[in-house]
Amino acid sequence: MFSRCKRFTVAAVIFSTLMGMGLTLLTQPVPSHAQAEAADPETVEAELLDEVLSLRADVLATIREAPFSELFTVTMEDGATGYGVKDQDFDPTYDGVGFYSLWGKVPDHDVLQVAAFYCLLTPELADAELEALVLMDDDIPLITIDQKIVTTPAQMVEVAPERYEPIVFSEPFYDPIWGLLYSGDRPAFREIYFPAVDCSVGGGRFDLMPVQEAIAQLPTQTLDVQLQFSNGLTETWHLGQGTVEQIKVLPTL
């Protein structure tokens, strides 16, 4: 499922191609306080996959077509069998905003890893890197995944453009003769401005071999996933019960 080296050659779309979301994650690039120049969205997508994963196009296609929270298999370039489970927890308000993970094992290569991708509505994460994933049962930490193989600095991109929306309402008016205030049905038209919505996009890949026994013993239930970043900020998302049930099997394969 994953390469053991740190140089990668994949250029594809993260959430629409890898995760099979059918979403358009990145629309227009925007500047951030931490970045002097705006990032080109297609470049962000390509570079993120290029840094985090090393998978052939046919393997990516298999991942894209695989259902979420179910164990699937892929054939690696050398003929080895890889096993994977993918998960998503997203904000339905904006396409692509959320936390996405791909858990994989290649037994013949002694590889057990997780790749994590995020698009978060937290501008303070710009240039920060993902340091760890903590699986939690409510407030109780169960596993800390912090053996980094590669992580990328978060980049700011736009997930919703600025817009104006017209509204119609009944406007009070003064009688021009008597100077009295009336609340009538005379319509008034105004526009409300909504600023662009930005998200911090990044990812990372972590070694699971040091925690494989703990993974096998996870409770079969939905778990919280706390994302810990290099600037001290944290974000909490969820790992579905079906996914947890399947990733518990990976260490035994």
Taking the domains of the chain in order of start, what are their residue ranges? 14-129+146-158+197-210+242-252, 162-195
DSSP state of 125: G
Q: Above 60 in pLDDT, residue 72?
A: yes
How high is the pLDDT of residue 150?
94
For residue 132, the cross-strand partners are 228
Better-scored residue on pLDDT, 70 or 190: 70
Task: Point out the least confidently predicted range of 11-25, 62-76, 115-129, 204-218.
Answer: 11-25
The whole-number average pLDDT for the span 215-224 is 98
Most confident range, picked from 42-51, 112-121, 179-188: 112-121
For residues 120-129, average pLDDT: 94
Mean pLDDT for all residues in the chain:
80
Are 124 and 230 in contact, with CB atoms under 8 Å apart?
no
Rounded-to-integer distance, Cα 195 and Cα 160, Å: 9
**Which pLDDT band, with edges at 50, 70 and 90, does 29 fall under?**
very low
Of 213, 199, 15, the closest CA to residue 102 belongs to 15
Say what the pLDDT of residue 15 is: 46
Indicate the burial class of 107 (C-beta count within 10 angstroms; 0-12, 13-18, 19 or more).
middle
- Check residue 220 and give its pLDDT: 97
Q: How far apart are CA 1 and CA 62, in angstroms?
A: 11
At 64, is the pLDDT very low, low, confident or very high (cuts 50, 70, 90)? confident
Place of tokens 């931490």: 34
CB atoms closer than 10 angstroms to residue 134: 18
Q: Give the sign of the dihedral formed by CA 113, CA 209, CA 200, CA 67.
A: positive
For residue 34, pLDDT over 50 is answered with no
Instruction: Decide if pLDDT at 139 tops 70.
Output: yes
> Whole-angstrom Cα distance, residue 122 to residue 200?
6
Tell me if 207 sits within 8 A of 113, measured CB to CB: yes
Cα separation, 14 vs 202, in Å, equals 10
> Is 10's pLDDT higher than 70?
no
- Of 27 and 239, the structure prediction assigns the larger pLDDT to 239
**Exposed e or buried b per residue across 209-224, where buried means at least 16 C-beta atoms within 10 angstroms of its C-beta:** eebeeebeebeeeebb
φ, ψ at 193 (rounded to 5°): -90, 130
Residue 170, φ and ψ in degrees, nearest 5: -85, 120
Nearest residue to 79 (alpha-carbon basis) of 102, 60, 106: 106
Q: Is there a contact between 92 and 79 (Cβ–Cβ < 8 Å)?
A: no
pLDDT for position 183: 53
The arithmetic mean of pLDDT across residues 2-27, rounded, is 37
Given a cut of 90, whether residue 89 has pLDDT beyond it is yes
